[in-house]
Structure 1
Amino acid sequence: MTALPTLDRSDILLVVQSLAQVRRSGGEHPVSEASLFLQVRSLDGFSREQIESLAVAALQFFDLETDGPGGAPLRQELEKSADLETWAGILHANWNGEAVCFHSSGSTGVPARHRYTLRSLAGESAALAPYFTPLGRIVSVMPLHHIFGFMHSVWLGKWLDVPVVYAPPLPLASFFALLREGDVVMAFPFFWQSLLSVVRQGKGGGALRVPRGVMGVTSTGPCPHWVIEELLKSGPGGPVLAAVREVYGSTETNGIGVRCDGGEWYELGGQWETVTLPGGEKGIRRLVDGTRAGDPMALPDVIDWHPAEDRLFRPERRTDKAVQVGGINVYPDRVAACIRAHPLVRDCAVRLMRPEEGSRLKVFIVPECPLEEAAGHFGKPFRAWLAERLDTAGRPKRIRLGETLPVNAMGKLCDW
């Protein structure tokens, strides 16, 4: 497609339903109510706080004001109705069709808003489409308010003018039943790992098999290489997937590059050009309609660029980002590495507290010992151990224990 597509009321309803489902279940991408996936039509049973939160999120997604003379009346109009079809109509009537916005929390836990014009999304679609051919249908298990969920299903379906089927983010029997040859499945690493486990166990016999000729796309975070290898490996019934595409990027950048079938290198998307940053390192700059747009930027991670091919790269490790504690830069990843050195710590995650919690670091620890024994080990003796190794700003103020690190349904670390 060359003409710029737009969103109709049904597309807007899908996004609002995705936002509502999050608030209904209290999670990033709920799986506990699979039968209700994208089926929420009414806000009956939602609390006043949930409805107010949904109204703000919906207005922000469609780049509309939430306060002031323009925003407050619109927000109040949404909050008066319990019918999400009505919400979609209100948003459709007031949205100018120019841009949508996505939120990321980053390492600080403070939400950041990122605005994308539909024209820039079209450039991304044009760059991505060749990697996904041949494409009969899109089957998406992604949260549609997430940048990759929206981009790889709602928007790409409009751009390519192909059908889009939405399924719960679980490899249930119903998921296998809806697949057909030529589908491209848009998912995330945790889903692919779960699907692989189901196929390996042979639950349901031959009923839980992926048809031939299905491509899998994974995004939102790194997918373990062994998962991709197993998905592509031939077995008694052939490979699970005919092809796999990994999309590298972030909420801040959208898609940056694509890697095919577990290869070593990502290829920089056609919507980017390479540049030399002031410090001499290699960076990228966005192109919209072939014209430079925005400033040069570094990639989100530490990158190894191919020595001979200018547009090939591979992420080496995450950039160690600092957060401010009492005006002092501290590095949560470094603090976590220090805490993991404790003999009773199996794993941990460190984040900056949310504003309502305070202004210090907090840590979630998975202990080596049973939880019922752990409390006695992570009191004063543990804090004394921390004090010997970390300065005041770098010492987590709040400690929480659990059997596993908190992750959302896409397998990514989340707040606690």
Structure 2
Amino acid sequence: MTSNDIPGAVIAGPALWPAQAHVPSVLGRQLVIDRGEGSFVHTTDGRRLYDGTAGLWHANVGHGRPELAQAAYDQMMRLETYHTFARFSNDRAMELAERLAGISPVPDPKIILNSGGSDAIDVACKLARRHWQREGREGKKTIISREFAYHGLHAFGTSIAGLDFNREGYGSASLVPETVRVPLHDADAVARTVAEVGAENIAAIITEPIQGTGGVNPPEDGYLEAVQRICRENDILLILDEVITGFGRVGSMFAAERYGVSPDLVTFAKGVTSGYAPLGGVFVSPRIWQAFYVDSPDTPVLRHGATYAGHATAAAVALRHLDILDDEKLVPRVAELETVLRTQLDGLAERVDAVADVRVGGFLGGVTLAEGLAADKVTDRLVDLGFISRPLRGGTLQISPPFITTDDEVVAFVAAIEQAVVDEANR
């Protein structure tokens, strides 16, 4: 079929292609955000909306922070950036890496910086495979991931996705070969899969500590510890995707700390700058990095790097952002907000039959609707009520407001969800 054979009229629209969208469903009804302050954003058509998702899980310190704008301005007036290839680096990237090493969930790490979470996933998966190739164990290439997993949409992230709609349509079962999925919470199934595939063929197991896009799924008790044990017993690397959970979202700086696991690689992004600059990266354990630091002409080179890896302005923003987290004690504040959110969602589930399930992990919540209710219709109704949520897999509503939100705003948000759900159920 050629473009001339496509049935139906082609809709004209803005030049910007909407991301992750059935385009005809959103054209003409897009919400264009032009301003943000605190936990609220404003649209070009005059709406003031509570940002119940913190953008895409990232606006942890809220919108419109002048100190972060000032940090970017000051850095750009000194040096916008300089690359970090070979002998060259820049002072801000060096400073940020040292700061991150001091709070890392991986002891004695090296830090690879890049531009975001999808970048970080590609690096981590490549590095896991590179590690085993360097050790002469060429068969260890397979990456195991979980059902409903989301790890960004670069080539590796697409390949290890546990959401089938993010994997389909590219001409092969997996853009990068040697990937396998396991069920959501079943550690025994992980062990069986390792036995079936063969540990000699598996480079790493990757998991989000709390799944985000897959429906806000916290780990069942003991699950992450069991996966870690399987990795250790079978000489498989453990990668934690902390792009959402890192930098305080779970009430500790990293979910690895909350759940008591010691990964070999940890990816991060969103919360390192609260979205004020595009930045991500990977914490790399000594088990992996030391071989690349041996004083020998035979030491291998990791052939990875990007123009904006260690971007000086992004690093300056991250450094100031980490100050804000500390100065305003926002990570312990998340633990308080988790209690408020859990209380409110438990009450919602008790009162409203149209709510099938609620889940909370840190200041992350998911409200799963009863079968037959459309989550997208509920989130549209929420906008009418002045609140932003997102429909996730399984008819689930996303809850992840900024850390600076008030208890009363959380209560109001959940009350609005209740009204929107009831309205949709009664249509």
- Same fold, TM-score > 0.5, yes or no: no
Normalised by the size of structure 2, how large is the TM-score? 0.31
